[in-house]
Structure 1
Amino acid sequence: MAVLADKGYDDNRTRSTIQGMGAEVVIPSRSCRKAPIDHDAFLYRARHAVENLFAKMKHFRSLATRYDKTTRNYAAMVAIACLVIWLRL
């Protein structure tokens, strides 16, 4: 398991918490860090695809404004939105 985050989450406390959970930390170092910490660049690039999916899902008005009152209906709408995005309809 890996936790992907942007440079805004690059601090020692966050890194130690993630490592304490047994996950790999994939956070690029800030430019002000004296000793940069390596990260898996391939995994970090995959984060971009996830961010794009969330951006596309916000085009669905009922998801962006959370019109559905129940968790079941909201989860169904998320599934429909992902399907439409995946099929590119």
Structure 2
Amino acid sequence: MITPGEAHDVTCAEALLDGLDARAVVIADKGYDADRVRAHIRDQGAIPNIPNKSNRKKRFRWKKAIYRERNHVERFFNKLKQFRRIATRYDKLGATFFAFVQLASVRIWLRSIESTP
């Protein structure tokens, strides 16, 4: 799903989270700390692992060790945004942009297996 750049991620969270496997653990940052997002995750049988925002009155438990796994995804997006065409999004059509994201992802993956012994 490609969303507008100026839209906050939480506005599209429910559509992105549809079809979760039961007992899956959803790791997200504080931007997704909303009651409706947490409820949507739980309704599908998954477990939210989202840190609490500093202004949240009702605190939820989350596991820091599991949250650290999010670092792998963040590093991947960092590598993806090293491609100027992705970072600036010159493409008008979402399909063209998504195709280039896929191509860049394959290139990143090939580099990673090339460097392993």
TM-score (norm: length of structure 2): 0.59
Q: CA RMSD, aligned part only?
A: 2.7
2-structure distance, mates of 1:35, 1:21: 22
Q: Which amino acid aligns with 2:106?
A: A
User: Structure 1 residue aligned with 2:109, among 34, 57, 82?
Assistant: 82
Corresponding position: 1:35 with 2:58: yes
The DSSP-based 3-state class of the residue aligned with 1:3 is strand
Contact 2:83 2:104 (8 Å CA) reproduced? no
Paired position in structure 1 for 2:80: 57
Please identify which structure carries the higher helix content.
1
Q: Which amino acid aligns with 1:13?
A: R
Q: Which amino acid aligns with 1:28?
A: P
Paired position in structure 2 for 1:23: 46
TM-score (norm: length of structure 1): 0.74
Give the Å deviation of 1:13.
0.8
Paired position in structure 2 for 1:5: 28
Larger CA deviation: 16-25 vs 64-73? 64-73
Q: Which amino acid aligns with 2:64?
A: A
Q: Which runs of 5 or more residues in structure 2 are unaligned?
A: 1-23
Question: Could you report, residue by residue, the CA deviation over 1:18-51 in whole angstroms, capped at 9, with x for unpaired residues?
Answer: 1112211010111222232101211110101210
- 1:66–1:82 distance in 2 versus 1, CA, 3 Å: farther
Q: Which runs of 5 or more residues in structure 1 are unaligned?
A: none
Moved over 6 A (4+): 70-73
